Amino acid sequence: MADIYNKNENKIPIKGYASYHPLKHCMVGSGFHIDWFKEFFPDKKIIDPLQRIAEETEEDFLELSSILTKAGVAVYRPKLEIEKYSSLRDTYRPPMTPRDHFGVIGEKFYAVQYAQGYSNVLKQIKKEQMYIKPRDTVYSGTIDTASILRAGKDLYWGHNPKDGDPTEYVRMFEREGFRVHLLERDYHSDAVISLIKPKVAIAVKNLANYEKTMPGWEVLLIDDNPSLPYSKSDFKSVVNGRWWIQNEENNAVLAKFIDQWLGEWVGYVAESVFDVNMLSIDENTVICNNYNKSVFDFLKKHKVEPVIFNFRHRYFWDGGVHCITQDLYREGTQDDYFG
């Protein structure tokens, strides 16, 4: 399909005013290669499950890329060049979840200096559209669309108070015509709410206050207790709810290895609700992680077609379909959905 947006020096176009506007350019994460481990950690109790994660993660990324491509979306994949690092401890994690590091807000691409593995994509973005956040600012957090929900003129920022004062960035967004709503949370907003289309959203029950901050919107509130696949096993206590790999519940060697070497690769999956972590292709199509009857009934009511994408190792990577993508260009403008 001809790319009508990418006419300027083969650079990726950047724009995003609402998470449900038609998606045209998108980044999809990348995992790791088992060769990173084989030479140094030959134990089959470590290598075999890691090999399965590596292979199935890439299979799933290719499947997601195919879904997007068939919908007319140009897909870009990051690449971590492991040879640049002397140890696995030098790598924060593979470029799995670009949403955690970047944000497209309006017509700017926001990035942090320390994100590893994304340079091959970032160098395709025009410098004048990039904002590289300095390290030494009062606000230490990232400017990303995992925390900042976009609804035209309105930005809902689930910032962590521990990251400092975001006033500098609030004023920057206000100068660009946005209204910024600060919502104090200590984890990503996209783990607890999804804006599906104008006036329609899905959130977990403990965020009922969104009905006040988003007047006039119909918000489906679903169970805020995540349905963890290991809830009936002893594994949750072994890893303190951080991650889970199917059929490896009793693999103490693997658990110790991940804790010692890959602690920065995993998150805290016990707090994640993947039922709300969705990626909209447009106002009428949304990619979901799994089937949820109440969610699917709600989508049908609002004439939205769900597309199920089973990211098999989301309980290891602590990332749903929204986390493992970063929309780069969406059609649409800075509309006022609350005016």
* CA 127 and chain centroid, separation: 23
Q: Domain segments of the chain: what residues?
A: 23-330
118-150 pLDDT per residue, tens? 999 999 999 999 999 887 678 888 899 999 999
217-259 pLDDT per residue, tens? 998 988 765 556 665 555 556 666 678 888 887 888 998 898 8
Show pLDDT as tens, one digit a residue, over the chain (339 residues).
333 334 445 799 999 999 999 999 999 999 988 887 877 788 999 999 999 999 999 999 999 999 999 999 999 999 877 666 556 666 678 899 999 999 999 999 999 876 788 999 999 999 999 999 887 678 888 899 999 999 999 999 988 888 999 999 999 999 999 999 988 765 678 878 899 999 999 988 766 566 677 888 998 988 765 556 665 555 556 666 678 888 887 888 998 898 888 888 887 777 677 888 999 999 999 999 989 899 999 999 999 999 999 999 998 998 899 999 999 999 999 999 987
Of 220, 221, 240, nearest to 230 (Cα)?
240
Return the CATH number of the domain spanning residue range 23-330.
3.75.10.10
Q: Which residues, including other chains, have CB under 8 Å from residue 193's CB and lie 6 or more apart?
A: 149, 201, 202, 203, 204, 207, 210, 276
Q: Which residues, including other chains, have CB under 8 Å from residue 30's CB and lie 6 or more apart?
A: 58, 61, 77, 78, 79, 80, 94, 95, 96, 117
CA distances from 145 to 99, 294, 299 (A): 6, 26, 22
* pLDDT score at 95: 92
* pLDDT score at 204: 83
Contact 14, 329 (CB under 8 A): yes
